[in-house]
């Protein structure tokens, strides 16, 4: 009888999920965050798929700077609700704080795929931190694209200027890692780029020219100015990007950019020259093979183009442009089934990106 009574007492003494969840919410409302954190953890052991509890646990842990607890909570929530941009964003912000930059890229890229459908301030934080971790991990052009979208949605800010300058210099730095000797260059380039992102062409031109007066031997300032000028004055844009290549002969984005700009101007021999230089400079970069492949197509060499574009697809199977260009090469070679397959994959990838 005594053993039975003790057993019953032990079973009934453990708080239920309902009680723990109520206590957790009461502690949260009373701003007793440490107490609430423990109660949410206990409640989630009883009901691991409690999405509201995961959100509150993660949010409290974030507010308490306990990032090692908030990251897995938001990751679990994102696993339960993969269409929730806020869950992916908060997971990425926690991972950023933990300096797990590859994981942060993954989480924040999910939010990007979901079009940052979340409250404006959270969307702003998501875009900014995605740009920061993309730069830190070497995806500079993607970072600049994200910063452009951020600037158009929320206007430029000191954070955007710093992030743009670092990405424009193609350095894997976070803002607090910028060497003192490079801070003025980062600011001047970032300020010019931010004005360009806002489509203030007159102000951007003046700022780029001022930056070049102070830093005439910095290839990335020439490259970013040339990329900006290409929108309105392709001849001058080419001139600036060629200056970047003179200063840095293996500057891959400049070589690829020149290839594409010459193709647009139908200067095929020049495009072919820079496409070949791009592949020689970085054969492991898919963009160089796309550039050379497209130049070879324009030169009426579909077999050579297909060989280059097959390498591009192998290096970057999820890049729609590589698939479309390869489909064009196969079509010119009369390989109808292969062309249809690549075109179908191009359309599938394009749809995923919408």
Confidence of residue 352 (pLDDT cuts 50, 70, 90): confident
Burial of residue 337 (CB within 10 Å: 0-12, 13-18, 19+) is: exposed
Q: Are residues 134 and 176 in the same domain?
A: yes
In this structure, what CATH number is given to the domain that contains residue 257? Answer: 1.25.40.10
User: What pLDDT is recorded for position 256?
Assistant: 98
Q: Is 309 a domain residue?
A: yes
Q: Are residues 353 and 253 in the same domain?
A: yes
Q: Are residues 90 and 163 in the same domain?
A: no
Domain boundary residue, one of 231, 259, 284? 231
Domain boundary residue, one of 204, 231, 258? 231
Structure tokens, 101: 């930059």
For 324-340, what is each residue's pLDDT tens digit? 999 999 999 999 999 99
Rounded Cα distance between 72 and 22, Å, is 23
Q: Are residues 51 and 93 in the same domain?
A: yes
Rounded Cα distance between 312 and 307, Å, is 9
Neighbour tally for 180: CB within 10 Å: 6
Which residue did the predictor score with more confidence, 243 or 154? 243
Q: Are residues 104 and 140 in the same domain?
A: no
Q: With pLDDT > 70 as the criterion, what percentage of the chain qualifies?
A: 96
Rounded Cα distance between 91 and 78, Å, is 8
Q: Is 3 a domain residue?
A: no
Mean pLDDT of 216-228: 98
Predicted model pTM: 0.90
Q: Is 240 a domain residue?
A: no
Q: Is 239 a domain residue?
A: no
| Position 93 pLDDT exceeds 80 | yes
Q: Is 130 a domain residue?
A: yes
Rounded Cα distance between 231 and 240, Å, is 13
Rounded to the nearest 10 degrees, what angle do helices 17-29 and 33-46 cross at?
160
User: What pLDDT is recorded for position 339?
Assistant: 97
The string of DSSP codes covering 297-320 is HHTT-HHHHHHHHHHHHHH-TT-H
Q: Are residues 278 and 347 in the same domain?
A: yes
Confidence of residue 354 (pLDDT cuts 50, 70, 90): low
The string of DSSP codes covering 314-353 is HH-TT-HHHHHHHHHHHHHTT-HHHHHHHHHHHHHHHHHT
Q: Are residues 35 and 63 in the same domain?
A: yes
Rounded Cα distance between 50 and 53, Å, is 5
Q: Are residues 226 and 269 in the same domain?
A: no
Confidence of residue 88 (pLDDT cuts 50, 70, 90): very high
Comparing CA positions, the residue from 56, 123, 51, 49 lying closest to residue 85 is: 123
User: What pLDDT is recorded for position 8?
Assistant: 42
Q: In the chain, what is the greatest distance between 2 CA atoms, to the nearest angstrom?
A: 96
For 143-197, what is each residue's pLDDT tens digit? 999 999 999 998 899 999 999 999 999 999 999 999 999 999 999 999 999 999 9
For residue 25, give every residue at least 6 positions away whose Cβ sits within 8 Å of its Cβ, in sequence order, or none. 36, 56
Neighbour tally for 113: CB within 10 Å: 13
Q: Is 12 a domain residue?
A: no
Specify the number of domains making up the chain.
3
Nearest-10 Cα torsion for 211, 215, 217, 223: -20
Q: How many helices (H) and strands (E) does the chain have?
A: 20, 0
Q: Are residues 72 and 37 in the same domain?
A: yes
Q: Is 9 a domain residue?
A: no
The answer to whether residues 173 and 141 touch, using CB atoms and an 8 Å cutoff, is no
**Structural domain boundaries, residue 320:** 249-354
Domain boundary residue, one of 53, 85, 118? 118
| Position 63 pLDDT exceeds 50 | yes
Q: Is 185 a domain residue?
A: yes
Q: Are residues 172 and 107 in the same domain?
A: no
Q: Are residues 276 and 348 in the same domain?
A: yes
| Position 2 pLDDT exceeds 60 | no
Q: Are residues 62 and 134 in the same domain?
A: no
| Position 5 pLDDT exceeds 80 | no
């Amino acid at each position: 009888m005594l053993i039975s009574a003790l057993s019953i007492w032990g079973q009934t003494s453990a708080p239920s999920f309902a009680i723990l969840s109520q206590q957790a919410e009461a502690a949260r409302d009373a701003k007793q965050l440490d107490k609430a954190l423990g109660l949410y953890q206990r409640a989630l052991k009883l009901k691991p798929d409690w999405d509201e509890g995961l959100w509150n646990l993660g949010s409290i842990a974030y507010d308490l700077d306990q990032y090692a607890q908030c990251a897995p909570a938001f990751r679990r929530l994102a696993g339960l609700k993969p269409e929730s941009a806020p869950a992916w964003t908060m997971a990425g912000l926690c991972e950023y704080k933990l300096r797990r930059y590859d994981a942060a890229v993954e989480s924040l890229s999910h939010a990007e795929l979901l079009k940052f459908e979340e409250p404006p301030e959270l969307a702003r934080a998501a875009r900014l931190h995605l740009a920061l971790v993309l730069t830190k991990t070497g995806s500079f052009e993607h970072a600049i694209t994200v910063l452009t979208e951020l600037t158009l949605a929320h206007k430029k800010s000191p954070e955007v200027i710093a992030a743009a300058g670092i990405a424009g210099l193609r350095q894997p730095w976070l803002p607090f890692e910028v060497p003192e000797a490079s801070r003025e260059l980062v600011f001047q380039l970032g300020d010019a780029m931010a004005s360009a992102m806002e489509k203030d062409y007159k102000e951007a031109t003046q700022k780029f020219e001022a930056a070049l007066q102070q830093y005439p031997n910095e290839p990335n300032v020439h490259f970013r100015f040339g990329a900006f000028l290409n929108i309105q004055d392709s001849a001058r844009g080419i001139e600036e990007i060629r200056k970047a290549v003179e200063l840095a002969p293996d500057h891959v984005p400049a070589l690829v950019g020149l290839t594409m700009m010459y193709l647009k101007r139908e200067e095929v021999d020049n495009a072919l020259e820079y496409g070949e230089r791009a592949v020689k400079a970085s054969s492991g970069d898919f963009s160089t093979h796309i550039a050379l492949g497209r130049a070879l197509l324009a030169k009426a060499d579909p077999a050579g183009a297909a060989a280059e574009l097959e390498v591009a697809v192998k290096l970057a199977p999820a890049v729609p442009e590589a698939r479309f260009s390869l489909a064009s090469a196969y079509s010119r070679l009369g390989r109808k089934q292969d062309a249809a397959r690549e075109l179908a994959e191009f359309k599938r990838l394009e749809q995923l990106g919408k």
